[in-house]
Structure 1
Amino acid sequence: MKVLRQGYYWPTMKEDATNFVRACDRCQRFANYSSMPATLLTPMVSPWPFAMWGIDLIGELPKAKGDVKYAVVAVDYFTKWVEAMPLTEAVNKIIKHTLKTKLEERKGNWPEELPKVMWSYNTTPRSTMGERSFMLTYGYEAMVPVEVGSGSLRRDCYRKEDVEVNQRLHLDLLEETRENSQLRLAAYQQRAARYYNKKMTSAQNKRRPYK
């Protein structure tokens, strides 16, 4: 952050700074830690047509051309104008399975549990990307609920002016974070494709009749 304030920048600034701090004993023991705090929920009202949309899914429907079996529907809050289009699948299968498992444990109380499950998922590091979804979206780490109740350094030493400055600096580094995550995800997808194709080829060879 000090380097950014002086007007310097290079593509791997965040990674270089992280490696430097990890190797510095004093940084690990005494460095200040600050980030955006949790905020109160603010109801939002659409001020004019097409400013805000509500989105929902319909399905599963009978599979149609292109293997589509869902429809996504968007409704403008102001005019109630409706748009819709077909989809191939509603959500990533791994995410869907994880959410379904967590919510089924709560039985009839799953609607109350849903926000907590979503928050937990979005603030948990993804092995495929090396980052949390919250970080990739907003550019800084979320404050977890336990910090609100039990306290932490960044919560107890909170100063609005410092947080606003640090938020702008974090956003300057967001592009580097996203690019690194894209590289990790691409590498993971290539490994998964090689593994899948290898199994597919092996299965096809086994099914071929001997001459």
Structure 2
Amino acid sequence: MSEATTPDRQSPRTPTPRPGGRSARVRAEVVTATLAEVTEKGYDGLTAEAVATRSGVHKATLYRRWGGVDGLIADALTASADQPWPLPDTGDLQEDLRRITQEVFSVFTGPERGSTPTALISAAQRSDVGATALRGFFAARHRQAAEVAERAIARGELPVGTDGVEVIRAATAPLYYRLFVTGEPLDASTAERAADVAALAARAGLFTPTPKEN
């Protein structure tokens, strides 16, 4: 992937808004506008001018803080990663993973909200900076969700040393593979099966470090 070099796709800058105050409000307005524009028009139709108009933020301010379309996409992902993600705590790893995969399924296929995250991830894959932000987004989500595996270790349900991030990756990867690689249909039973497989593998110790041979 390579970044476009048109004026709208200049080298992105890292926004540094102050916590609270006008700067935070401006960022929230720009992120909201970016999500709306990318949902409606995709990466190719996304322009800084349209985001500026929709958000009410002057285009010069937008370019100064975000640098163009790729910076807008990257910051929308960063803002999404910062949102809290309430995790299930059912007392059973398999059920926790099922609820996580069902949430992913719902987010990406729901008629009311599925188009926006799909459009944002598809757009992020079109530029280097977007792809970097996307990796950061998934890394943050995996770290957060790994808590369900850590609880399972504490309960004695999983072997000590189980890599919780790998457990979450195993549970969710089949969903993302269908959504963004093969385009195959994704349904609730597929999401549940992915969770079950990950839970079985975790309990079997497949996500613990492999001892190194001497």
Please give the TM-score of this superposition, normalised by the length of structure 2: 0.24
Which structure would you say has the larger Rg? 1
Please give the TM-score of this superposition, normalised by the length of structure 1: 0.25
Give 1 or 2: higher helix fraction: 2
